[in-house]
Amino acid sequence: MKTYLTDWPKKPDTKNEQASNAETLRIAALEPEWNLAQGWHPDVEVDNSFYDPQLRRPLAERQVAHMPRLVGPAPEGAVTGHVMLKDSGYTAITQPDKNAPILPLFVRDLAGRVIYIGTTRHKQTTKDGLAEVRMPFGSVLVTEEMAGYNLLERVFFSCFRFVEMSDKYVGRVAGGSGLSLNVTYFAPNLYPYKLRMDTFYQDGWRLPQTERLFVHTTNDPALAERAAAALIKLWEEKPEGQTYEAFAEAHETQIADFFKRGCTLIPTVEGYNGINKVDDNFTHTGFWPGRAVVGLHDIVAHEPSDAPQGTILKVLEPGFVTEKNLHPARVVVSDGMKYKAEEGGRYTKPCPTKVFPNLRLPHQRLSVKWGAAWLPQHPADFEDPAIWGWEEASNGRFVQLRGPVWDPLHYYYACTPTVIESFRKNRLRQNVNLVKIPEEMLTRFYPVVEFQGFDSFNIPKKKQEAYAASLLPTTLFHHKDASCLCGVGYHPLPIPFDYELDSWWFPDLAPKRRVSDIIPLNVEKKLANIIRPNIPPDRFGATIIGDKEAAPWATDPLLLASLRDDPLENYPYLKRYLAPEVSDEEILYLALPFLNEREDNTPQLSQLPTAIIRHMEANWPGLYQAFFAASRKAQQVEAFRYTMYTEDFSGYMAAFWNMTLLEELFDRAEEAKDPKASLPNAAVIGSAEF
């Protein structure tokens, strides 16, 4: 019996339980994989049918062998909990599965419902009021009927970003006639935190909370409007003095029926965005009622109370959302004065001054609004829940909008060792791709903390881990050293590992494209510092296990560096974001772009065998046609990228460093073919006015 396996939900002690636990556990949800190596990019504009949940049915149990991962669910079900992007850049030679998460599959709406968003557009740019309060097109309501529903928030949904160096020459450079490449980065001893969690889920398991609502769409919009009218009539005819809470309980069945007909009641006191109650040990002890949300609630009055500011105290009139209409709820909220005055008495330790992330540095999953999110270090920092959503300033991408920062790519959290240990010891026997959450993690929050010791390299370990089918096949291991203490702060990533900012990924998330240079005075003096790890080169070098034959860099002392006063000397990669001018020679040293040679053995969706196409049509009628049109665009993206890398490497490198938008690259290519294409019409026809 393998000691790392555990049973779900407990070790069986009866024949019935044994039979139940013998079954394979799976979360029956499509976990889309965008294969950028083939040109499949989530931003490529395609018809709406591409995202139609009726067409795709992403929570369906049906499986078809050899289906592309963007179309059909894997036999093991959803295991990472994310939409994934597979690339032929640095992920191809630094990450075991060549994938990185770009969107969570599951979130909660304001009413607490679990919503699947894996088949929604990656960018939500519609600006009308209804679109900003409803879950986006393609969202699917998740109910208990979905196989694996009971596993949500009981198993981890986390990937890992291994900040390691390749153990040999593993990458075949595109167009390089067999030229191989290994990945190294400057001063690995100054990156103590290398085995980083890579997940949208707080602590690796909490579903991101939004302040939007799921609304059923129907073929008859009038059906939803009649339901809305019936809801208001029920309220108008309620007994005098009946509270909203009593009203909602008395008409629970009717409200559920209205919801199915396309009329969603706007949550008020029952909203899932209420302030958390947290004790001195970071234990989550409860919630305050829901808070008013702009667009969903009309605040009629503020009244004194013990509740936090914005907490809904009374509902004067319920509200609703349908596909066509929005009627905000009219509410009375707390002014929060008393709650704020008693802040110091809620905890034995005084609340420190809030520390904010420096948004001029990469925070690709965080809002661009200065001061909206803060580093959680004290229990009081977790009172406000982390709220997520699609932000206009981030080009409509899904990011954390406010609350305690969850960014394990750039900050070290107290939960990290527990999560890593669980991935090694708590895999489920019924599905070894899933990892059970320790019970103690379910009732507490985990702050950003200092980092003691450092992560180092054990070259032979990676092969051993892979042979043992480990979920963490990496050379990285943690070296305990109490004398090497790194305080709370921003942990940079070398450029090859900030995948999202690559010009072929989502360069619109780069700080220079979305962050204001004007920092509020109450935030500017409280920005988190870049870490200053005191790890001497000789001490770090002595921990590396491996030889030059296995890893050419393992015995190279010039690769290590002593700590300097200037963060840009310790982390020269940050010049990409903070330095106004960098020479071409330095860019080549800091950000040599890599593209792996084409994979000739992987067919495009448009080249699938006829048998698979027939299976697709039998199970998902109309699906192949929708994807076939998109596959043509995918082929264009792949060919354009390969040609640019092999024929215009300097241009490719400049785009990589500058995080140039993909559409700009296409526009430049078109202009190079036809210089007149970018000129005004008058100039093209030879008008004298030009």
Evaluate whether residue 670 is within a structural domain: yes
pLDDT score, position 60: 73
Residue that the structure tokens 């899932």 belong to: 272
Cβ(116)–Cβ(58) under 8 Å? yes
Residue 160, pLDDT score: 96
Query: Maximum distance among all alpha carbons in the chain?
Result: 91
pTM metric for this prediction: 0.93
User: So what's the pLDDT on residue 14?
Assistant: 42
Q: For residue 65, what pLDDT is reported?
A: 61
What does DSSP assign to residue 283? B
Which residues are registered as beta bridge partners of 538? Answer: none
DSSP secondary structure of 228-239: HHHHHHHHHTSP
The residue range of the domain holding 681 is 666-690
Burial category of 687 from C-beta neighbours within 10 Å (exposed 0-12, middle 13-18, buried 19 and up): exposed
Q: Tokens in use for 349?
A: 């330790």
Asked whether residue 424 is domain-assigned, the answer is no
Is 675 a member of any domain? yes
pLDDT for the residue 601: 53
Name residues whose C-beta falls within 8 Å of residue 531's C-beta, 6 or more positions apart in sequence.
192, 451, 486, 487, 489, 490, 491, 492
Cite the DSSP H helix spans in 124-217: 129-133
Round to whole Å and give the CA distance between 625 and 383.
48
CB 602 within 8 A of CB 634: no
- Looking from the CA of 211 toward its CB, the CA atoms found within 13 Å total 22
Tally the domains of the chain: 1
Using only C-alpha atoms, what is the Rg of the chain?
A: 27
Q: Which residues pair with 327 in a beta bridge?
A: 320
Write out residues in the chain with pLDDT < 50, as ranges. Answer: 1-4, 11-22, 679-690
| 309 in a structural domain | no
Report yes or no on 690 lying in a domain. yes
- Distance between CA atoms of residues 21 and 7, nearest Å: 7
Q: Considering Cα of 254, then 256, then 258, then 261, what sign does the dihedral take?
A: negative
Q: Cβ distance 657 to 505 under 8 Å?
A: no
Residue 449 CB coordination number (10 Å)? 16
What pLDDT score was predicted for residue 2?
Answer: 38
User: What does the pLDDT read at residue 673?
Assistant: 73
Query: Distance between CA 122 and CA 53 in Å, rounded?
Result: 15
70: tokens are 């963007």
Helix or strand or coil: residue 532?
Answer: coil
Could you identify the residue written with the tokens 């040999």? 168
Complete edge-to-edge strand list for the sheet that includes strand 373-374: 373-374, 397-404, 387-391
Task: For residues 277 and 361, give the distance between their C-alpha atoms in angstroms, rounded to a whole number.
Answer: 32
For residue 156, what are the contacts with CB-CB under 8 A and spacing of at least 6? 201, 204, 205, 419, 422, 423, 434, 435, 436, 437
Centre a 10 Å sphere on the Cβ of residue 181 and count the other Cβ atoms it contains. 17
Nearest to 107 by CA among 116, 95, 96: 116
Q: Give the burial string for 598-619 (b: 16+ CB within 10 Å, else e).
A: beeeeebbeebeeebbebbeee
Does residue 681 belong to any structural domain of this protein? yes
* Residue 679: inside a domain: yes
DSSP string, 40-59: --TTS---GGGG-HHHH-TT
Candidates 331, 116, 287; CA nearest to 214 is: 116
Residue 588 tokens read as 């080549």
Q: Is 340 helix (H, G, I), strand (E, B) or coil?
A: helix
Q: What is the pLDDT of residue 38?
A: 86
- What CA–CA distance (Å, rounded) separates 582 from 268? 52
Res 206: pLDDT: 97
- Domain presence at residue 503: no
